[in-house]
């Protein structure tokens, strides 16, 4: 039986959005037993890094694939 990651996924989304000041667009978090895939768009690499560090602190031991795209010319929000 596949694990139910929905509550953890929602918690991660809320924490990442709070940590980044909601400056990520189209945030996506996919959870797997061995890894986490983070996606979306950010205006700066700093926002991308904040999101990554928040995830790493909440799900230690899982590999993180950070697929957030940085588009400096676009304001997020």
Q: How many domains, in total, are found in the chain?
A: 1
Domain assignment present for 11: no
Tens-digit pLDDT profile for residues 53-64:
999 989 988 999
Please check whether residue 38 is in contact with residue 64, taking contact to mean a CB–CB distance below 8 angstroms: yes
Question: What residue numbers bound the domain in which 53 lies?
Answer: 26-77
Q: Which residues contact 59 (CB under 8 A, 6 or more apart)?
A: 8, 12, 31, 36
The helix/strand/coil state of 53 is helix
How far apart, in whole angstroms, are the C-alpha atoms of residue 60 and residue 47?
Answer: 20
Asked if 25 contacts 76 with a C-beta cutoff of 8 angstroms, the reply is yes
Cβ neighbours, 10 Å, residue 11: 12
pTM: 0.83
User: For the segment 3-37, what is each residue's pLDDT rounded down to a tens digit?
Assistant: 788 999 999 999 999 999 989 999 999 999 999 99
Q: Is residue 69 part of a domain?
A: yes
Q: Would you give the DSSP letter of residue 69?
A: E
Whether 3 is in a domain gets the answer no
């Amino acid at each position: 039986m596949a694990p139910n990651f929905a509550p953890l996924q929602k918690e991660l989304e809320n924490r990442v959005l709070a940590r980044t000041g909601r400056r990520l667009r189209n945030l996506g978090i996919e959870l797997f037993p061995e890894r986490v895939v983070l996606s979306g768009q950010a205006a700066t690499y700093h926002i991308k890094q904040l999101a990554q560090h928040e995830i790493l602190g909440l799900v230690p031991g899982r590999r993180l694939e950070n697929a957030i795209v940085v588009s400096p010319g676009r304001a997020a929000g």
